[in-house]
A and B are shown apart, each in its own frame.
Chain A
């Protein structure tokens, strides 16, 4: 089974800041990686797929990069709506989610 590890688990930042979340796979998954945003009590929302492709309708301040075993999600200028929990997910071999990164307002 492929394990996904995100860091940090919690991140505090100011509105307007640039933040990066890292996701590591236990083995190579090529670019078969997605990122989701989940607000409390809501369903997850797809942000990025195939490591770096921006889902339609998602603001361009979100970007993804990486391949193989190491990936990042970057938010270039945090907006109040962006404070949520973010999950990476591999879909190279079945499906596995990272444990999540909670992004909090500083």
Chain B
């Protein structure tokens, strides 16, 4: 079955960087677009970024553009999110999620990981 497992959670000081990873199994990772979605404590879902099946197209929410970078390594079945210049408001659970399509446009997010908590605090 489809499994997505995030890692890289932790407490980070404002202004610092962190890389989140997601390891996929149970499906042909290289055939699907992937997303990162976050959820601040007690708040709703916020889409963060998406990447096409081959990594050639990447999309970002305005709130993270220029600070976050999504990437993937299909040889390792891995998805990454490099988060730089962290702010207190970036504190959230970060979910890795699969898109039903190859391209990351008009895609349906169908499977989610359990999430990784990132806390930005001094």
Q: Tell me the A residues contacting B by CB distance below 8 Å.
A: 1, 32, 34, 36, 38, 42-46, 49-50, 55, 87, 89, 91-92, 94-100
**Which B residues from 85 to 113 make CB contacts under 8 A with A?**
95, 106-110, 112-113
Q: Does B26 contact A (CB under 8 A)?
A: no
Give the shortest distance, in Å, between A21 (CB) and chain B (any CB): 14
How many contacts A-B (CB < 8 Å)? 50
- Chain A residues, Cβ within 8 Å of B95: 43-44
Label chain A's interface by main secondary structure: loop
Give CA–CA (A46, B95) in the complex, Å. Answer: 14
Footprint of A on B, CB under 8 Å? 35, 44-47, 50, 59, 61-62, 95, 106-110, 112-115
B101 vs chain A, min Cβ distance (A): 10
Note all chain B residues with C-beta closer than 8 A to A97: 44-47
Cβ contact within 8 Å between B35 and A46: no
Return chain A residues, CB-CB under 8 Å to B115.
43
